[in-house]
Copies of this chain bind each other. A is one copy, B any other.
């Protein structure tokens, strides 16, 4: 695979060959960026070649990914990504925006953005002949790994805290993953996963640890770019795009930033979109660092109903801060109440988001109020996961339905109230 040159540490900038390291920087523990051979890629591919493909998944961007053709056509593994971008006047109007798009990641095979990362990690695992992939997770990342592994007949092991909701654990088990609950919190599951991977030669997918998760996640940037290039021809008045992303451990926003950086390096993109990170005020370690104007990620005691972005210590915080800073965006923090309102707003446009998925829209609302976004700005909001993942939260987002006698008379009386 000539396109994959190695890794570069996001902290010390040390470079490593593909076989030299596997996870984080041996010098300082920093997250590693995958380094691609941009010249090589440019020689063999062009935007036109990519645009004219029939592959309706992340694999249309294979030339820009550090894995070879992964096979498994005709499985859910080949149907990750290429998610729809919806345009909603109904959402745009109350905000005074002329255009607003929502990219709906709930349409992925296991109904969240995380399938992008898991698919690429599973492809990598097969290349390096790792028979087992392991991750710590109770939520979307675990479901995505379990689902992608099942799709290609690969083994997955998931470590979760024993407090994980039984319903979420059930999904992992249905996909045939080996699930082990630990008598401890998420951090102890995270650490045990790393130890177990080392001990048994398993391949560790942990987010903010394995450099290939961001490579999978960057495909969302590629899709936004391709969609934007095609859209802009119809809308020459639109200038720069503004992308809103919910942020928990910081790996999604870092991955999206990496995708746009790859495109800039290739010369296929004129200008980086502005990237806005949105956190819950109850889990705002990265927001705090951004506001403080530094890259120092200080853990918090996370407490938010948006469980998928509820994180004490974000494992990809430094790159996440940079994603907003280097792109000219910023960070916002929103209350749980605003997240619930965002669920209801998106629902009325026919999009059912989980709390973490709606957080990005709540951030946009605040950004408009604070004047960061103006009427003529082009805005794309990412919904990272399906509302079916957390129906309890949805129940908090709406009022209760009335109960009537099953008669026309009772109905008329109710409607006249």
Binding site for B on A (CB under 8 A): 56, 74-77, 79, 84-88, 90, 104, 107, 109-111, 147-148, 150-153, 160, 162, 166-176, 179-184, 188-189, 191-192, 195-196, 199, 343-344, 347-352, 386-389, 391-392, 394-395, 397-399, 401-408, 411-412, 414
| B350 and A109 within 8 A (CB) | yes
Known: A111-B386, A150-B348, A167-B395. 14 other contacts (CB 8 A): A74-B86, A75-B349, A75-B350, A76-B86, A109-B350, A147-B352, A167-B391, A167-B392, A170-B398, A171-B387, A171-B391, A180-B404, A192-B408, A199-B412
CA distance A388 to B408 in the complex (A): 35
Query: Quick check: A180 and B411 within 8 Å, CB to CB?
Result: yes
Question: Which residues from chain B contact A394 at a C-beta distance below 8 Å?
Answer: 167, 170-171, 173-174
Measured CB to CB, the closest approach of chain B to A82, in angstroms, equals: 9
Instruction: List chain B residues, Cβ under 8 A from A348.
Output: 150, 175-176
Distance in Å: Cβ of A200 to nearest Cβ of chain B: 8
A194 to B180, CA, bound (A): 51
Contact between A174 and B387, CB atoms less than 8 A apart: yes
Q: Do A183 and B404 touch (CB < 8 A)?
A: yes
Flag if B350 contacts A151 (CB, 8 Å): yes
Residue of B nearest to A391 (CB): B167
Q: Which 3 A-B pairs have the closest CB atoms?
A: A151-B350, A174-B347, A173-B398
**Which B residues lie within 8 Å of A173 (CB)?**
347, 394, 398-399, 401
Asked if B414 and A180 sit within 8 Å, CB to CB, the answer is yes
Contacts of A74 in B (CB 8 A): 85-87
Q: How far is the CA of A104 from the CA of B191 in the complex (A)?
A: 37
A-B contact pairs, 20 of them (CB 8 A): A74-B85, A75-B87, A75-B350, A76-B86, A79-B84, A79-B107, A90-B153, A111-B386, A147-B352, A150-B347, A162-B403, A167-B394, A171-B394, A173-B347, A179-B401, A184-B405, A188-B406, A189-B406, A192-B408, A199-B408
